[in-house]
Amino acid sequence: MSVTLNRIGLARDAYKGAATTLCAGCGHNSITNHTVKALYELGVEPHRLAKMSGIGCSSKTPAYFVETAHGFNGVHGRMPALTTGAQLANRQMIMLGVSGDGDTASIGLGQFMHMIRRNIDCTYIIEDNGTYGLTKGQFSATADLGSVQKKGAVNIFQPIDPCAVAITLGCSFVARSFSGDGKQVVPLLKAAIAHRGTAILDIISPCVTFNDHDGSTKSYSWVKDHEESIADVSFIPFFEEVHIDYEPGTIRDVELHDGSHILLKKLGDDHDPSDRIAAMRVIAEAREAGHLVTGLLYVDTSMADFATTENIPEGPLKDLGEDDLRLTREQFDQFISEFA
């Protein structure tokens, strides 16, 4: 059997990781597979990938893809801080963060928000199942009001919607999807990776063990019944030519920093992903109607990412040496003499 190699000569297997230790049927495993596909098809160099995560089921997944890449499975809710530091140390790295709903919307909400404010260049996947899996089924902060726990308890608190929060904060790329919808997740992931800035991808990812029952709004059946995609997403990487053979007016084309294109094919009402107010309205209306709206909600390709704002070199700061960093002997002596 012949093996298909990607543009940098790697087989898809080169993007695999260790065997998953998550439950069979876990949505996170699907997302891992989508991630492998996206990285393979993009031809990401494994040594340029940094897989970042916090704590929880979701945060274990960086072990399950691209085993040869570096990664950092840090502390609970603090992936954004580690990612920010690593990004500044080496702008050449592709930062791919994987978090969960507890990791992001509870313990890590502050860091999540501040990372967005700074527009750190990274992809931030939220594997969102509305529950704490590793600690056996407590509600998380993304659980919908009135949703029912496996043992019957009803959630009485308003949910935190990571996409709504992100858009409010001026996030430069916000999308929602469903782990079972690879056709949507893969192009969104590729677009998020190509995007320069913080790209939030809230992926509903059912927990088969603790949150896949009737009364849950994060179960496979609920999501399948209620998902409403705002547009068909396809992604054309910078190394492929764009062929648009759709009827005029049915397609939106978003060009990213690296020359890649996101093509959005209108499904129902036309959604303009560069319109922040419209994005907020789409989310609010879907919530009122009891739907799960998925797709690219908002994108702003004009916003400078943090490293650009900070005006640090394109090359890694980590590689600078004594000559770049120390004062010269003359500068030093002059400076010290000013303290006399």
Partner 1 sequence: MTEPIVNELTIQAATVNGSGSQTANLVLTRAIFKMGIPVAPKNVFPSNIEGLPTWYQLRITPHAHMARTDQVDVLVAFNATTWREDLRSVRPGGVVIHEEAYSTADARTDLTYYPVPFSKLAKAKIQSDTLRKQLANMIYVGVVAGLLGVPWEALEHGVKRQFLSKPKAVQVNLDAIKVGLDYWQDHFSKTDPYRLEPMTGAVDGKVLVEGNQAAALGALMGGVTVVAWYPITPSSSLCEYLIAYTERFRTDPKTGEKRIAIVQAEDELAAVGMAIGAGWAGARAMTSTSGPGISLMAEFAGLGYYAEVPVVIFDIQRIGPSTGLPTRTSQADVGFAYTLSHGDTKHIVLLPGTVEECYEFARDAFDYADRFQTPVFVLSDLDLGMNLWMAPAFHYPEKPFDRGKVLTKDDLDRLAGDWGRYRDVDGDGVPFRTIPGTDHPAAGYLTRGSGHDENARYTENAESYARNMDRLARKFETARQALPPPLTDETHKSPVGLIAFGSTHAAVLEARELLAAAGRRVDYMRVRALPLSAEVAAFVSRHDRVYVVEQNRDGQVFDLIRLALPVDLVGRLHSIRHYDGQPIPAAAITEPLLQAEAVPT
Q: How far is the CB of 117 from partner 1 (least distance, A)?
A: 8
- Answer yes or no: are the C-beta atoms of 76 and 108 closer than 8 Å: yes
Instruction: Kindly tell me which residue out of 28, 34, 37, 51 binds partner 1, with binding defined by CB under 8 A.
Output: 51
**Helix axis angle, 182-194 to 27-42, nearest 10°:** 50
Q: Which of 20, 23, 75, 106 binds partner 1 (CB under 8 A)?
A: 75
Residue 76 vs 150, nearer CB to partner 1: 76
User: Rounded to whole angstroms, how far apart are CA atoms 288 and 91?
Assistant: 41
Site string for partner 1, 251-290 (x = CB under 8 A): ----------------------------------------
Other residues' Cβ atoms within 10 Å of the Cβ of residue 47: 12
Contact 238, 194 (CB under 8 A): yes
Alpha-carbon distance of 325 to 310, in angstroms, equals 17
CB 174 to partner 1: min, Å: 20
Near partner 1 by CB under 8 A, which window of 28-36, 72-80, 128-136, 208-216? Answer: 72-80
Does 7 engage in binding with partner 1 (CB under 8 A)? no
- Tell the smallest beta-carbon distance from residue 265 to partner 1 (Å): 37
| Complete DSSP assignment for 183-201 | HHHHHHHHHHHHSSSEEEE
Question: What is the token pair recorded at 313?
Answer: 């070199």
Is 138 a residue that touches partner 1 (CB under 8 A)? no
For residues 256-286, one letter each, b for 16 or more C-beta atoms within 10 angstroms of the residue's C-beta and e for the rest, the string is beeebbbbbebeeeebebeebebbbebbeeb
From the list 68, 135, 158, 221, which residue makes contact with partner 1 (rule: CB under 8 A)? Answer: 68
Q: CA 257 to CA 116: how far, in whole Å?
A: 18
Region near partner 1 per CB under 8 A, out of 165-173, 226-234, 240-248, 305-313: 305-313
Q: Which stretch binds partner 1 (CB under 8 A): 126-134, 248-256, 264-272, 306-314?
A: 306-314
* 9 touches partner 1 (CB under 8 A): no
- How many residues touch partner 1 (CB under 8 A)? 64
DSSP string covering 192-242: HHHSSSEEEEEEE---TTTS-STT-SSSHHHHHHHEEESEEEEEE-TTS--
CB 197 → partner 1: shortest distance, Å?
16
Strand partners, 16: 65
Among 26, 39, 93, 189, binds partner 1 (CB under 8 A): 93
CB nearer to partner 1: give 113 or 297.
113
Smallest distance from partner 1 to CB 190, Å: 21
Burial 94-123 (b: 16+ CB within 10 A, else e): bbbbbbbbbbbbbbbbebbbebbebbbbbb
Compute the least distance from the CB of residue 328 to partner 1, in Å.
9
Nearer Cβ to partner 1 (78/287):
78
Q: Is 332 strand, coil or helix?
A: helix
Q: Whole-angstrom Cα distance, residue 132 to residue 249?
A: 44
CA distance 267 to 289: 18
> Binding partner 1 by CB under 8 A: which of 85, 146, 259, 290?
85
Residue 307 makes contact with partner 1 by CB under 8 A: yes
Where along the sequence are the contacts to partner 1 (CB under 8 A)? 18, 45-48, 50-52, 62-63, 66-75, 78, 80-90, 92-93, 110-111, 114, 118, 307, 310-313, 316-322, 324-327, 329, 331-333, 335-340
